[in-house]
Structure 1
């Protein structure tokens, strides 16, 4: 009998899921045909009670809160931290979603008199299935009264998107994040579902506590360290002494700009460069100078995203980055461009200086490879970036930078997730594991190296940096002969102590393109000095 009941429940769930997916496909012109394993687990869990969902960036957490209202015929309140996230979701859902702004809130509080706007009519009539907003609006006395008087019987779920903000922002920056449980006082039996891509075990407990979620809350989670991202950490030039902070920044950005200037910039891997605000502007200024000097039109391919940008500029940029065929190739950004932004084909994430926390790092790295294709993450740091006087950075970020263990293993231990090396080849894992990879390709590369010559630590670092650069150029020029061979790599590494000028590199590399010679020299200067 129990077997028959279980089979019936499975068929009922499967049928409801297919119907809901079909409706979403019709509304959004999508082609969802199935759910991933942990999406299924999350939806099933949420249908049975309160749930904490910890899944990687790009896994499809938003589909979970799209499905459940359609499967239950109940409305959902979705709490989100950023305008860009809400705008994107409301645009996708059309007239089945409403964004509760101050203006809409005033329209809702008509007290039964006066004309009703189209949005108010849609919300009260049942057309609206998703109610989006910031915590500051959704826990306001005015909104809580509206819910109590008009919506308490139709709202079944509260989804807290980017739930790590409850902990990271809830104390001082946005204290209303710690008041979200007020919604439980006006909606009897409402189910809370918290969702994030980055939460240590300690943070998970804090989220549940601050949201007053049930002790029987189910946690659906997997490793937030995606297999298609290779983690690389590289020392950059000092920011003090003979080299200024601006010059240190330029040694990383100039090769990217020169690469973009080549005739084949259509093959330039879409790249996000994360840095502090003032360096976003510096990167954009450098792009202007390089464009004018090289007489190339690259500025249409470059933009910047940061907090001072206007809301309309941010919204336009998010939409442009989300379009696979966009001309935009290089984005200078602060951490303002992270949570919820969905650009499918980012192939390279560059950090010039480490972020403040590993949570932030994973959110930003998670912008890359969201379509499942490979993405390289490069974090550049120097002693000034991780000095003891840097109080705005969590200590584990410094440990991550200087560690000589597998980057994935380190991140896995921090987030309480075990990394399975079988899921990714060593040379695509991180810079540490790439040095010990024993696949045929890597062994062939090592056979070229004369191991009778003991390499210095600088030469080992240079080998890793040049190897990544050669691979990137060869992928971008797959139909052309670049001359960036394993033999040349070995020659450069052996000769690197004697290469003190660009002319030295040019003489060593023969007929190589000037762009390649410039970039090789910059890497040598950056890593070995």
Structure 2
């Protein structure tokens, strides 16, 4: 529309985005509706940005590897015809001569920085070209720029505006409250118990998957890289010949569970991404590291499980946001132990400790970090962010984990049940 108003032939939108998963997902969907897509090739250098000990960094090495951002570029002819051109920050910084060419300067009508919070989180050390995206202002001085993110508290917004050299930007924001997601927090065995602290969580899920097969609710389980292989072997042992659906069709496309992380082959990643993006997916349980967060549009995930605690609220909210993207009820369950939230845990935000140990409403704790409050219009019983106890004699639900959660829910008409007493 903007290109038509400006009388520009073959107008283009330049989209800067961090990961191949995002590019591939969006390019596939746009191509299916007839939008021409081009990809400007770039390369990444850097190391894992997580605040981890040397042991943890070794465990999760290549969380985001070069294969996640080095992508096959389009030909010059494809770029010329494209309506939307995707590029990683590295490609933008290294392609200055091309971006200054008439073919680009005369056709780009707007630029977009997607997942803009990466400017703050990755720009200083991990992928430093994120901090150099002010180059867009010099390359396209008269072209509007939009920065998009779903997880940016006030200090992030200010840093993004400054880094991109945005002049008097219009800020459009909305409450990020995911009303259809229930947030639950549960304790797990100490890490000194090793795989047992994972087994106690994973084994019941495997048994349930064996019983329900294709009817089991789609589930993503976040865990450390070294335990993904263990989880996969455990499920293989539990399900045996029943791990495929139908059982006669043995192969990754028909397995009821899988694993997605940076060391995984590109072919296997594509199989799982295709499965996750479908409403009729065979893969019901996926073991993942934090490589699955941004850019994975899985519409029908009913349950997100964390075995361990993300270091930041932004990461936690991003990862739990994989659940319930179709608007239907979903659950996010986080299992923690003392070492997960220890005071000497490098990079662990205090608010994550409060989320695990505190007695405040978890939804309110999450939203407060982003400068918002829970929506008072919420009425879904499933979305009450408390741990419920079903009392069989009276069929009454009580919040045994947090008295404040129950009081908040009643006060804001989140449910209409009469509660005769609160836990002391």
TM-score (norm 1): 0.63
1:281 paired with 2:233, answer: no
The 1-side partners of 2:140 and 2:219 are apart by 45
Match of 1:160?
A: 113
Alpha-carbon distance, 1:219 to partner: 1.1
Alpha-carbon distance, 1:431 to partner: 1.3
Please, which of 363, 366, 371 is the counterpart of residue 318 of structure 2? 363
Alpha-carbon distance, 1:133 to partner: 1.1
The 2-side partners of 1:418 and 1:428 are apart by 15
1:132 paired with 2:86, answer: yes
The 2-side partners of 1:75 and 1:188 are apart by 16
1:460-498 superposed Cα distances (whole Å, 9 cap, x missing partner): 46xxxxxxxxxxxxxxxxxxxxxxxxxxxxxxxxxxxxx
In the superposition, relative to structure 1, how do residues 429 and 450 fare at CA in structure 2: closer, same or farther (>3 Å)?
closer
The 1-side partners of 2:342 and 2:397 are apart by 37
Contact 1:238–1:248, Cα closer than 8 Å, also in 2: yes
- Once the two structures are superposed, the pairs formed by residues 353-392 of structure 1 within 5 Å of their partners are 353-392=308-347
| Structure 2, unaligned runs of 5 or more | 44-72, 245-253, 402-424
Match of 1:208?
A: 161
Match of 2:279?
A: 324
The 2-side partners of 1:70 and 1:257 are apart by 55
Contact 1:153–1:187, Cα closer than 8 Å, also in 2: no
Alpha-carbon distance, 1:445 to partner: 5.9
Alpha-carbon distance, 1:422 to partner: 2.9
Match of 2:27?
A: 90
1:144 paired with 2:96, answer: yes
- Once the two structures are superposed, the pairs formed by residues 192-203 of structure 1 within 5 Å of their partners are 192-203=145-156
The 2-side partners of 1:144 and 1:287 are apart by 49
- Once the two structures are superposed, the pairs formed by residues 91-490 of structure 1 within 5 Å of their partners are 91-94=28-31, 96-102=36-42, 119-124=75-80, 127-140=81-94, 143-150=95-102, 151-214=104-167, 216-240=168-192, 244-262=193-211, 264-292=212-240, 296-298=242-244, 300-425=255-380, 428-431=383-386, 434=388, 447-448=394-395, 460=400
The 1-side partners of 2:148 and 2:26 are apart by 15
Alpha-carbon distance, 1:341 to partner: 0.6
Contact 1:156–1:189, Cα closer than 8 Å, also in 2: no
Contact 2:12–2:85, Cα closer than 8 Å, also in 1: yes
The 1-side partners of 2:101 and 2:23 are apart by 25
In the superposition, relative to structure 1, how do residues 362 and 70 fare at CA in structure 2: closer, same or farther (>3 Å)?
farther
Normalized per residue, which structure has more helix?
1
Contact 1:304–1:332, Cα closer than 8 Å, also in 2: yes
The 1-side partners of 2:301 and 2:396 are apart by 33
The 2-side partners of 1:158 and 1:305 are apart by 31
Contact 2:181–2:382, Cα closer than 8 Å, also in 1: no
Match of 1:80?
A: 17
SS in 1 for 2:325: coil
What is the aligned residue count? 357
RMSD: 2.6
Contact 2:214–2:256, Cα closer than 8 Å, also in 1: no
SS in 2 for 1:233: strand
The 1-side partners of 2:121 and 2:4 are apart by 32
SS in 1 for 2:365: helix
